[in-house]
Chains A and B, each alone.
Chain A
Amino acid sequence: MSLNLCPNIADPDGFYEFIVESQRAMSDEQANRMNARLILILANHVGDLATLRQAIELAATTGAHRAG
Chain B
Amino acid sequence: MFQTYKYPEFAYRPSAEQAEGRTQRHPVVIIGAGPVGLTAALDLASRGLSCVVLDDNNTVSIGSRAVCYAKRPLEIWDRLGLADRFIDKGISWKLGKVFFGDRQVYQFDLLPEDGHKCPAFINLQQYYLEEWMVETIAANPRIDLRWKHKLISLRQEEDHAILTVETPDGIFTTEADWVIACDGANSDTRKMVGAEFTGQFFQDRFLIADIVMKADFPTERWFWFDPPFHRNQSALLHKQADDVWRLDFQLGWDSDPDEEKKPEKVIPRVKAMLGDDVEFELEWASVYQFACRRIGQFRHGRVLFAGDAAHQVSPFGARGANTGVQDIDNLTWKLALVIEGKAPIDLIDSYHEERAFAADDNLLNSTRSTDFITPKSAASRRFRDAVLDLAEVTYFAKPLVNSGRLSAPTPYTQSALNTPDSETWEGRMTPGTVCSDAPVTVNGTPDWLLRQLGAGFTLLSFGPAKAVDWNGVTAQPLVVGQDLTDAEGLVAARFDGRPGSCYLIRPDQHVAARWRSFDPASVRAAIARACSAKGTY
Contact = CB atoms under 8 A, between A and B. Distances in A.
Contact of B382 (A33, A41, A44): A33
Contacts of A37: 386, 389-390
B382 A40 contact: no
B353 interface: no
A33 B386 CA distance: 7
B226 to A, nearest CB: 13
B400 interface: yes
A36 B386 CA distance: 6
A44 to B, nearest CB: 4
Interface string B370-390: 000000000100110111011
Interface centre among B386, B387, B389 (most CB of A within 10 A): B386
Contacts of A41: 390, 394, 396
A39 B394 CA distance: 14
Contacts of B386: 33, 36-37, 39-40
Nearest to A44: B396
Contacts of B394: 41
A32 interface: yes
B387 A40 contact: yes
A33 B381 CA distance: 9
Interface residues of B, number: 12
Contacts of B400: 40
Interface in A4-59: 32-33, 36-37, 39-41, 44
Contacts of A36: 382-383, 385-386
A37 B396 CA distance: 12
Contacts of A40: 383, 386-387, 390, 397, 400
Contacts of A33: 382, 385-386
A15 to B, nearest CB: 21
Nearest to A38: B386
A40 B390 CA distance: 9
Contacts of A32: 379, 382
A40 B396 CA distance: 9
A37 B390 CA distance: 7
Nearest to B384: A36
A33 to B, nearest CB: 6
Contacts of B385: 33, 36
A9 to B, nearest CB: 23
Contacts of B382: 32-33, 36
A37 B400 CA distance: 12
A40 B387 CA distance: 8
Nearest to B380: A36
Nearest to B383: A36
A6 to B, nearest CB: 27
A44 B399 CA distance: 11
A10 to B, nearest CB: 25
A34 B273 CA distance: 30
A40 B394 CA distance: 11
Interface in B381-432: 382-383, 385-387, 389-390, 394, 396-397, 400
Interface of A: 32-33, 36-37, 39-41, 44
Report, nearest first, the 8 A-B pairs whose CB atoms are least far apart: A36-B386, A37-B386, A36-B382, A44-B396, A36-B383, A40-B386, A33-B382, A32-B382
Interface of B: 379, 382-383, 385-387, 389-390, 394, 396-397, 400
22 contacts: A32-B379, A32-B382, A33-B382, A33-B385, A33-B386, A36-B385, A36-B386, A37-B386, A37-B389, A37-B390, A39-B383, A39-B386, A40-B383, A40-B386, A40-B390, A40-B397, A40-B400, A41-B390, A41-B394, A41-B396, A44-B396, A44-B397
